[in-house]
Structure 1
Amino acid sequence: MSPDAHQDPLSLLRASLSTGTPPILSTSPNSPPPSLPPVPLHLATHLIFRPPHSPQHVALPLSTPTRFVKKDGEATPTPVDLRSIYFAWLNRELAIPEYLNLAQSFDVQVSGGAGIKNLNFVERLELVGWLEGVQEESEFIQAVTQVRRDAAPAGGIVVGRGRGDLAGLGQNGASQPATGGPRPLKQLDPRLAEIYSHERVVVNRNTALRGSKPMDFSYVRKHTEDFVSRLKSTTTTNTPGHLKPGVPSATPSPSRSYPIILLSPSASALLTMSNVKPFLESGNFLPPHTLSTTATSTTTPQMIDISRLLPSIHATTPQRFIVVDSPEKFKPEYWGRVVAVFTTGQAWQFKSYKWHQPQELFRHVKGFYVGWEGEQVPSTVSGWGAAVTCVGVDRGRRFRDREVCEVVWMEIERWMVATGWGNGQGGRG
């Protein structure tokens, strides 16, 4: 079958892809024998479409201009030929640099000056989306009306919706038979034409977000990385306990109005001076058995600073806490600053405390028992009542550590507010 000059290349290509019968490249208007190997695009001259349920085929030259246009800031958009359209479809998965390199090598291979018109990122995105049926309209695809305006009958209005060839319809919507010449074009009722004249093209999210050309924002990422690095450096330098080399670190004194947290000195405690800081500050629990015994004995501090934002105490300024595992150097007034005591359930821990009996102690401070999840809480801890909050650390799932940490801080903050830390007193006498 000879090529029909009124067949629309874009509509034929979209229809063939949707029906699972992709077109065939050929060096002539005739379909090549199936026994021959496929013809490469740079050697082909025609693209042959095989409509389903039809013994005939439609052969279009690859140089045929299509309704897809490149604007490039020009007053008159430039139609893109069928060869460039099919090239963009075949290489739709390639990144922009690979696509451009392949187009340049294609121009070298093809003869006769039939090169490829490069499509930018947005144009390729719009083309592929329209061919795959994801979208029905595109700002780069002209309506059939614009392409066939000169061929429109004088008695009606030609309307093209970009969905393939249109059958001829009379003013009342009835089909008009072909007269042996070109296929009659669709004519629309004037009332529908008035409705269509008020339509507007819907811009999809890709065009709205990306604009008319792709933007490279890699410089923003590099700028952000530099900014975050400087911010971390500044924070580390100004954080207590992380002073610059050569600057003596002053030992924090509990005599100020910082709340105090007491840990258990027991060897069986899961929360010790070696791992309490990463746990309470970052929710990162390091099991005691994973820490080096030698390193722990020589580098474990006797007093630790921990900062935590407690909105009920102060909405913007983090609260500083002092963490110790022994009240050996306590002054009497320091006991008014103690807000939490971590215990393993062994009563000997409280012998040097102001309040020796656990029941009396946990009326003045908030108690915590940290054990392994799934293990039974010691009966001594259970006997101390609701004043001691029991939390379980999972042995293998470290992502649960943050949840346990938040439970601890929630209880501490609640207890501090209830005992007057939220009213600007800064502690209890």
Structure 2
Amino acid sequence: MSDCLLALRQAIKSKAAVTFTKDGESISSVSAATHIHVPPNHSFPKDTPTRYRKPDSKSSDPSANPQDFYSLVAIYVAWMLKDLTGSEYMKQCREHGLSLGYISITERKAVIDWLEGKDTHPERFAPLSDANSSPSKRKYVPDTADTEAVKKIKQNEIELQDRNSVLRGIKPNNFSNIRASYADKLKKMKDAGKPGADPKMAARKARNMYPIIMISSSPTALITMYNVKKFLQESVFETSQDARSRAAAEGNPRPEDMIPIYRKRTHIDSSGKETEHHARYFVVDSTEALAKFGADAWDRVVCVMTTGQAWQFRPYKWNDPRQLFHHVKGVYVSWSNDPANTKIKDWNVTELKIDPHRRHVDKAIVAHFWKTLDSWTLQHKPWLIKS
């Protein structure tokens, strides 16, 4: 059985027309009516006790103690006459046959608010009985035949694959060999930042282990001992011929066999603090000059600039370019409009292309060179970078 209060409230909230009936016919007289029709299809005797308790009542069962609860007609009339003043409301209640049992003026607002959904659960409402509560949900039990049918369907199921699942393969990937190959390099990088962690590295730092850059001694090379300092230190390219003429005019017809290069390095730590360091490099173009740095000079070589001519590497510690550029950073220097050099395709070198005319791009080219070299040095010879 539906709760008459909830049915009335739902009809009012949905703005459905509630009517009074007698013998199944709609009438306008409240006092003459016997039933109240509540859409969509509920019809209640107008004197049906609701769950709204009268003042000072403690009863919780409207059917057992109907005198302790307001009737349905009293509830509806209170809402129907909600816009009237207090005196007019009481007058109309008496005319509708509710001389006793109508909702008092002080209670009318609470009832109207609940019917219109503004109040969810007034304290004066008795709880719903089990007969009006919704039935408990039953646990779903699947049909045995349906279960067997699903099992058969799954046995014939074909798993669809997309490009990601195909590329991933059916075997688990094991990258332990790659991890092991980089473990030693990572350990060196970590130990390089710990003072006293490696005595050999600490000794190297104590002896001012400045990195060394080797360039080609070929007279046709774009970078020679005449113009390398201005290029790497001042970020300005000058042809070797012009630099040689300028040096001769200044009384220096022959360049030094070891040229120091100074540059500023900016380091940003994890906290965002920016610090500036002055770094020094040495440039040589022969193994004779390199030998002046000591027996471990090749350990300090971080870069070899090449013109693509293999004879350059004959006196080197590693004369095979593939092996050489495994131990040092290889840089192939050429004009930006030169055709591709097929000889260097498997040398593991970075191409440094210099524009023949636009000198304003030199700064970007040199900055790229230092960035590439710093990254390689930090990974392979971190003890040569002073932090």
Larger RCO, structure (CA 8 Å, separation 6 or more): 2
TM-score greater than 0.5 by the shorter chain: no
TM-score normalized by structure 2?
A: 0.41
Structure number with greater Rg is 2
TM-score w.r.t. length of structure 1: 0.37
Q: Give the structure with the larger helix fraction.
A: 2
